[in-house]
Chains A and B, each alone.
Chain A
Amino acid sequence: MIEKVEESTASQPTTVPAPRNSWSAWWPGFQRFLGNRKAAAGLVIVLVLVALGVFAPWLTSISPQAQSFVPLRPPSLAHPLGTTAQGQDVWSQFVWGTRASMTVGFAAGFLATAITVIIGMLSGFIGGIGDEALQMLTNVFLVIPGLPLIVVISSYFPFQNNWPLIVIIALTSWSWGARVLRAQVLSMRELPFVEAARMAGERTTAIVFRELMPNMLSLIFSQFLFAVVSAVLTEAGLQFIGLGNIDAVSWGSMLYWAQNDSALMTGAWWWFVPPGVAIGLFGAGLSLINYGLDEITNPRLRARVRRQKRGRPA
């Protein structure tokens, strides 16, 4: 216990009252995050798209499945994004599709990150034969191409809802992060505070998840963002070739039907463009947040730009 107290005072030299403690630790970090142009731009893009999904029921009163309008109409006041070849409202499909795609993306991303954290951190900490085995497992998953595997699996087990899809995407996408986390744990496991925890007789799992993990949150968060991006892309790709649940409205199934009814060839860009742009913007937004975080945590990436800016009078 004594060691633990020392460790916490070492990381936070000024003693502050307990309730303010977490807040005062987070707030400057968050301010720095917003001060980074990339991160702030990414956050805005992602928040707007998330808001579309969250507030879908308030943004449209039309059911995304209702085939009750004149087909293939360009955008108008009644239909901000026009209509599909089946006479559905594209705007309604878009906002509800946003909700569906994000659900899959965040759920699969979360699950993948959980596997990443457990396997990557344990592998790095336990060492020895267990590490070798976990590393082998990670590398096997890393080199086996995910999408063809998912394609084959989903044609064996036709999906009734999104859960099997989420689980499979997570199972095939955790490995890259696990490698990164393992490397980070290796570089941290000999640090004094870990040593202290070990001396205090804490169990391995406690050291890994209570001592190491809080110090790696930004790295884990960045893995999570990447996992979400790749989950959204995988889901869209799978839906696009007609696997997965194409009757549910999502960005991928919108693209599938748009392609199926040759939306581009008939000039119905309002049907084909929005889902693709949304996927692209969402991915770019999350990547921007990631690069922003990278610049904040890795001083080398930003130091020189600042110096140059100061050096050159405007």
Chain B
Amino acid sequence: MRFGLRSFETSGKQRGLWTDAFRRYRRNKGAMLGMVLLLLIVFAAIMAPWITKYSPFKQRIRDALSPPSASHIFGTDHLGRDLFARIIYGARTSLKVGSIATGIACCIGIPLGLVSGYYSGWLDTIMMRLVDILLAFPGMLLALAIMAILGPSLSNAMFAAGVYIIPDYVRVARASTLAVREMDYVASARAIGCPSWYTIQRHIFPNVLLPLIVLASLNLASTILFVAGLSFLGMGAQPPTAEWGIMLKDGRLYLRQAWWPAVFPGLALLISLLAINMVGEGLRNALDPRGLARGR
């Protein structure tokens, strides 16, 4: 475990890190259940047009708010759109949103954390102060401030969610870098004259990767929830996008007439979040037993 990605280099009979991790993961029932659920959701998102014959946008006002039945298994919304179709297509939106927001945070936060931890000194001090300022805002508030500047839209909500979690990556990457920097192999790399950027990407990055993978998997769920929340407030996805948050926002307005538009999209959101969180916890147990990656 201490030697990081040794298995990449010595592909011998020796049991490597990844095989070990996979064994640990497989023993965890919750994690396996989460994985199966998540794969099902991804499958549904990709195969959406083949799973339902309805379009998520086609309105039939005549059928507005019709209860679940054989033709519309989850019923229809206030504009007569098939809820099942909108939920399946909504999975596409949510998975995309979660991955992009998490991706933004990784791409900005990890390099900053690596550099901050590797060089230390004044650069590190400034970086940590900036992170402190960012952390001085409760997440929702930071998102609101960003939305106020950029205006309500799905991509802006995605961006806001990404910015909100950047400090996590900076801190986790920095903390692991500080530990790895003192390893002999990093000293050797420096001694044979590797340039700093090469040492960072070739010797440090692979060895700080594990807690970051765990963090990213947990953040996938929190960013999806975050953006759905913003959409619910009218600041994320705009109509007629098929997105669970905005579907719930619509469902709330017709709560007295119909329960199904308020129940099914939320159920889809809950199941997705549960699945991703269970996978994330499983990965944490398998990859990061020391618990370096603490999500918020």
State whether these chains interact. Answer: no
Residues of B within 8 A of A (CB): none
Interface residues of A (CB under 8 A from B): none
